[in-house]
């Protein structure tokens, strides 16, 4: 089995969270964040009044605690929710009743979905009617609390890491929660408690009284909120609960009618006055507020928030998680989604139910009021990666225009050349990567070029600029996470116009940018095989566009070809030369640093060179950035993306957490990103300027502590495997043969150019193209 049994304190009639165990675990979890400041700094700049019912700050409700990382409703999940989130974060417990009437916290009434019960009791699977439908599983009503003592919790979402399942977290009873609270560090504010009762009628059918249990529990546990999708249950307790406990009527996502009233939820939603007689608020799925089309784009918001507030009801939104596919309008940025619910200018919900409370806390605490909108071009620089390629096809007019609009400091152009010698911006020399060329007549030009390692291609130098720009060829949006079914902005997948280098330079001159990044690939091939002098062409184009006339715009020339940069250096270029380091290196010899410093002012490094990882867990941080900066080289890290699969587990599927770590801990000089908007908003947040007084949820990740927490479990199967030492950059990696002279275009037969074109479109090549076309 994936989990291991563990005796957990004195369980007695309830779960029993041992105080010493709770304190030890909480202390370990505190180490996950570099907590140097207050839980929530008093100097945070917030709106004078949110558009909630009473103008109060929206509540962060941690569903089963921080269940996006740890098994839901575990002690670790609850503790870390308070440590890493807003101080008034509420702990959500889905209450299930055991056969002997003990209330336990589990996210699903089928225990198999979040525990190892099917392994411990394989023969006790049952089928019951729940909400009018047959449901097979392992149900709490069939087990006494004592039988569940050796049943441990597991992560309910299979796409998340299962490494914390091995910790053996026990099932907690509702009365265990105050014990877990006592184990929190003294600096952490105690959470409010939220009990959700989802199936009162089901438990009554099995001879269990949820009403009596809840009322009895209120005598010993301070409960701030009780919610249920059964209005009848809320009515049954409404006269017996304290005014300090709010009742909230919950609208489910799928069930069509309230079994306690036999009225549809749509009808209940139209009669908020009836609900107000019993409840202080309602909770609705987020799609009730912002409806979503079948192709996953937002529709205009409904008036439900304003309607609830007019009726005197608070309204809470549910179903938030960082690692789900959210509407494309949010560009895979969960923080942006939260802001549309709490700070969109028209309304604010009174709280959000989330499995990643750190992100909701960031949104509410640090991003509802942003610092001045004027773009500052200070560190870290925001450098686009093929423009705003997270939302638009690479290197198109739309990508560049939106990168500027979204707040990039510098826009980038990867240079390619056409057959008629026109320089263009294109992220790949192979048009198969970036366009629909395989569906056009140009597919017959497919070739294999030995000097360009890779696969069959139709290359930019096979076509004229008119061929590329006349409309038959369309751009194709990049989706680097498509293997996880995370595709980008389908409505714009083939939109935008291709851009000549001369047009790109006009973008850079006319807009509020600090400069441009010109990326040169395959320069030696262009010189030897195409007879094209990239150095002269780039220098002339920059001069013609006014970049050499004392312009305030900075020009960076980036390449992984050290010989090319040396050639530029020898020509006493005024431009800043940037060397792209090999991917995945973790260290650099002193001699290699000295060599790089001879021809470059800065370097680009891949994120994999900063943090050593195993199974998506950070093991440690390398010293590479510090060594490079000590050598006098600025360091730009790439590529930052919003898709949650692009970040290690340590960053909680949150692009903002990752950015914060690279800025505050790694201290890179610039970030190269597909999503300039996300980084620009980060630079404008109202919390990082507070330094050590920044709130806990804006503190940086303590590198390697998630892996260390797993290591502390002492379970071999749980350990991320050891990884080999990272390669070291040495002199031989940097030094390259001198940059070759340009071969004349009219070179005689047998020279390098004709060799390059000797390999035609073989039958295999055409088969590859045919298969690719079927995928379009």
Burial per residue of 121-150, b for 16 or more beta-carbon CB atoms within 10 angstroms, e otherwise: beeeeeebebbeeeeebbbbbbbebebbbb
Say yes or no to pLDDT of 589 above 80. yes
> What pLDDT does residue 334 have?
98
- H or E element at residue 315: strand 314-320
> What pLDDT does residue 557 have?
98
Q: Are strands 192-196 and 225-228 parallel, antiparallel or unpaired?
A: parallel
C-alpha 407, offset from chain centre: 19
- Among 314, 343, 366, which residue terminates a domain? 366
- Whether 720 and 614 have beta carbons less than 8 Å apart is answered as yes
DSSP, collapsed to helix, strand or coil, labels residue 32 as coil
Q: Give the whole-angstrom CA distance, residue 389 versus residue 640.
A: 11
747 lies in a domain? no
Reading the block at residue 25, the tokens are 């675990």
Instruction: Give yes or no: residues 353 and 406 share one domain.
Output: no
The DSSP secondary-structure symbol of 260 reads T
Say yes or no to pLDDT of 35 above 70. no
pLDDT tens, 640-663?
A: 999 999 999 999 999 999 999 999
Instruction: Give yes or no: residues 61 and 93 share one domain.
Output: yes
Say yes or no to pLDDT of 9 above 50. no
- Among 699, 717, 734, which residue terminates a domain? 734
- Among 366, 401, 436, which residue terminates a domain? 366
In sequence order, the 6+-apart residues with CB closer than 8 A to the CB of 758 are: none
693 lies in a domain? yes
Say yes or no to pLDDT of 759 above 50. no
Say yes or no to pLDDT of 148 above 70. yes
Instruction: Give yes or no: residues 561 and 702 share one domain.
Output: yes
Instruction: Give yes or no: residues 333 and 387 share one domain.
Output: no
Q: Where would I find the H helices in 48-137? A: 75-84, 117-120
In the chain, count of helices (H) and strands (E)?
28, 27
pLDDT tens, 129-140?
A: 998 899 999 999
> What pLDDT does residue 25 have?
64
Rounded average pLDDT over 624-643: 98
The DSSP secondary-structure symbol of 408 reads -
Per the structure, how many domains does the chain have?
Answer: 2
Give the residue carrying structure tokens 């009669």: 271
> What pLDDT does residue 290 have?
98
Give the residue carrying structure tokens 């997948």: 493
DSSP, collapsed to helix, strand or coil, labels residue 339 as helix
280 lies in a domain? yes
Instruction: Give yes or no: residues 251 and 385 share one domain.
Output: no
> What pLDDT does residue 508 have?
85
Instruction: Give yes or no: residues 289 and 393 share one domain.
Output: no
> What pLDDT does residue 768 have?
41
Reported residue count of the chain is 776
pLDDT tens, 424-453?
A: 999 999 999 999 999 999 999 999 998 887
CB atoms within 10 A of CB 612: 21
- H or E element at residue 74: none
Instruction: Give yes or no: residues 616 and 523 share one domain.
Output: yes
Say yes or no to pLDDT of 48 above 90. no
> What pLDDT does residue 374 have?
63
SS (HEC) of 436-503: CHHHCHHHHHCECCCCCCCCCECEHHHCCHHHHHCCCCCECCCCCCHHHCCCCCHHHCCCCCEEEHHH
The DSSP secondary-structure symbol of 471 reads S
- Whether 720 and 163 have beta carbons less than 8 Å apart is answered as yes
Nearest partner of 71 among 16, 111, 28, judged by Cα: 111
Nearest partner of 242 among 208, 217, 271, judged by Cα: 217
pLDDT-wise least confident of 176-190, 218-232, 759-773: 759-773
Instruction: Give yes or no: residues 64 and 128 share one domain.
Output: yes
More confident residue, 689 or 170: 170
C-alpha 7, offset from chain centre: 36
Residue 256: pLDDT band (50, 70, 90) is confident
The CATH number that applies at residue 622 is: 3.20.20.190
For residues 166, 169, 170, 175, the Cα torsion angle rounded to the nearest 10 degrees is -170
In order of 423, 450, 460, the CA distances from 431 in angstroms are 15, 17, 6
pLDDT tens, 474-519?
A: 999 999 999 999 999 999 999 999 999 999 999 888 788 999 999 9
Residue 29: pLDDT band (50, 70, 90) is confident
In sequence order, the 6+-apart residues with CB closer than 8 A to the CB of 631 are: 593, 594, 596, 597
Residue-range definition of the domain harbouring residue 553: 381-427+478-734
> What pLDDT does residue 680 have?
96
Residue 749: pLDDT band (50, 70, 90) is very low
- H or E element at residue 399: helix 397-405
pLDDT-wise least confident of 299-313, 557-571, 731-745: 731-745
Q: Mean pLDDT for the chain?
A: 90
Instruction: Give yes or no: residues 272 and 388 share one domain.
Output: no
Rounded average pLDDT over 375-397: 94
> What pLDDT does residue 21 have?
55
624 lies in a domain? yes
> What pLDDT does residue 49 have?
77
Instruction: Give yes or no: residues 25 and 140 share one domain.
Output: yes
774 lies in a domain? no
Residue 312: pLDDT band (50, 70, 90) is very high
Instruction: Give yes or no: residues 245 and 388 share one domain.
Output: no
48 lies in a domain? no
Quick one: 293 exposed, middle or buried, by C-beta within 10 A (0-12, 13-18, 19+)?
exposed
> What pLDDT does residue 746 have?
58
> What pLDDT does residue 34 have?
59
Q: Give the whole-angstrom CA distance, residue 11 versus residue 173.
A: 9
pLDDT tens, 100-125?
A: 999 999 999 999 999 999 999 999 99
Instruction: Give yes or no: residues 214 and 184 share one domain.
Output: yes
> What pLDDT does residue 42 have?
46
Task: Work out the percent of the chain whose per-residue pLDDT is above 70.
Answer: 89
Give the residue carrying structure tokens 């079927």: 774
417 lies in a domain? yes
DSSP, collapsed to helix, strand or coil, labels residue 674 as coil
Residue 12: pLDDT band (50, 70, 90) is very low
87 lies in a domain? yes
């Amino acid at each position: 089995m994936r989990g291991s049994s563990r005796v957990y304190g004195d369980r007695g009639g309830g779960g029993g969270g041992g105080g010493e165990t709770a304190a030890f675990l909480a202390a370990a979890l505190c180490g996950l964040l570099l907590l140097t400041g207050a839980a929530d700094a008093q100097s945070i700049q917030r709106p004078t009044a949110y558009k909630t019912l009473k103008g109060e700050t929206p509540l962060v409700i941690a569903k089963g605690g921080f269940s996006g990382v740890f098994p839901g409703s575990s002690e670790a999940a609850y503790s870390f929710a308070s440590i890493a989130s807003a101080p008034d974060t509420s702990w959500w417990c889905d209450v299930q009743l055991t056969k002997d009437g003990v209330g336990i916290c589990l996210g699903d009434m089928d225990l198999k979905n979040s525990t190892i019960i099917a392994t411990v009791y394989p023969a006790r699977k049952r089928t019951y009617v729940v909400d009018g439908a047959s449901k097979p599983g392992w149900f709490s009503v069939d087990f006494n609390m004592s039988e569940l003592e050796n049943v441990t919790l597991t992560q309910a979402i299979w796409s998340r890491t299962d490494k914390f399942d091995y910790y053996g977290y026990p099932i907690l009873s509702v009365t265990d929660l105050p014990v877990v609270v006592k184990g929190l560090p003294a600096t952490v504010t105690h959470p409010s408690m939220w009990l959700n009762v989802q199936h009162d009628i089901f438990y009554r059918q099995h001879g269990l009284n949820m009403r009596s249990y809840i009322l009895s529990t209120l005598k010993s546990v301070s409960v701030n909120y009780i919610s249920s999708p059964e209005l009848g249950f809320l009515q049954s307790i409404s006269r017996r609960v304290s005014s300090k406990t709010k009742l909230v009527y919950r609208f489910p996502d799928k069930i069509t009618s309230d079994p306690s009233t036999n009225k549809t939820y749509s009808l209940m939603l139209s009669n908020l006055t009836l609900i107000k007689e019993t409840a202080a608020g309602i909770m609705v799925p987020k799609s009730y507020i912002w409806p979503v089309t079948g192709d996953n784009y937002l529709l205009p918001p409904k008036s439900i928030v304003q309607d609830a507030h007019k009726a005197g009801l608070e309204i809470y939104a549910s179903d938030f998680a960082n690692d789900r596919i959210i509407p494309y309008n949010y560009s895979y940025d969960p923080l942006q989604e939260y802001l549309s619910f709490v700070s969109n200018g028209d309304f604010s919900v009174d709280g959000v139910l989330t499995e990643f409370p750190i992100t909701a806390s960031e949104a509410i605490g640090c991003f509802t009021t942003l610092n001045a909108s004027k773009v500052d071009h200070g560190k870290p620089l925001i450098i686009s990666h093929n423009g705003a390629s997270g939302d638009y096809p690479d290197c198109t007019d739309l990508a560049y225009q939106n990168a500027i609009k979204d707040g990039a400091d510098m826009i980038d152009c990867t240079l390619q050349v056409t057959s008629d010698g026109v320089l263009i911006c294109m992220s790949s020399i192979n048009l198969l990567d970036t366009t629909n060329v395989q569906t056009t007549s140009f597919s017959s030009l497919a070739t294999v070029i030995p000097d360009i390692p890779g696969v069959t291609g139709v290359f930019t130098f096979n076509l004229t600029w008119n061929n590329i720009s006349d409309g038959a060829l369309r751009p194709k949006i990049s989706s680097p996470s498509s293997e996880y079914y995370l595709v980008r902005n389908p409505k714009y997948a083939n939109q935008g116009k291709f851009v000549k280098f001369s047009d790109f330079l006009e973008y850079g001159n006319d807009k509020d940018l600090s400069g441009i990044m010109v990326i040169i690939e395959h320069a030696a091939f262009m010189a030897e095989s195409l007879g094209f002098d990239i150095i002269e062409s780039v220098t002339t184009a920059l001069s013609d566009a006014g970049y050499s006339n004392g312009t305030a715009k900075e020009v960076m020339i980036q390449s992984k070809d050290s010989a090319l940069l040396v050639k530029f250096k020898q020509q006493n270029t005024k431009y800043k030369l940037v060397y792209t380091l090999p991917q995945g290196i973790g260290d650099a010899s002193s001699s290699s640093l000295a060599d790089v410093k001879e021809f470059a002012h800065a370097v680009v490094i891949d994120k994999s060179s900063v943090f050593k990882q195993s199974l998506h867990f950070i093991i440690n941080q390398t010293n590479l950035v510090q060594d490079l900066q000590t050598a006098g080289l600025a360091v730009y890290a790439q590529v930052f993306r919003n898709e949650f699969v692009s970040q290690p587990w340590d960053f909680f599927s949150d692009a903002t957490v990752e950015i914060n770590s690279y800025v505050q801990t790694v201290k890179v000089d610039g970030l190269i990103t597909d999503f300039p908007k996300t980084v620009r908003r980060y630079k404008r947040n109202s919390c990082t300027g507070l330094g050590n007084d920044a709130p806990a949820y804006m503190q940086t990740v303590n590198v390697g502590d998630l892996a260390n927490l797993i290591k502390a479990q002492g379970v071999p199967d749980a350990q991320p495997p050891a990884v080999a030492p990272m390669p070291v950059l040495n002199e031989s990696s940097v030094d390259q043969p001198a940059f070759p002279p340009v071969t004349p275009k009219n070179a005689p037969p047998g020279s390098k150019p004709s060799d390059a074109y000797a390999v035609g479109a073989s039958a295999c090549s055409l088969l590859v193209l045919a298969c690719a076309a079927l995928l379009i």
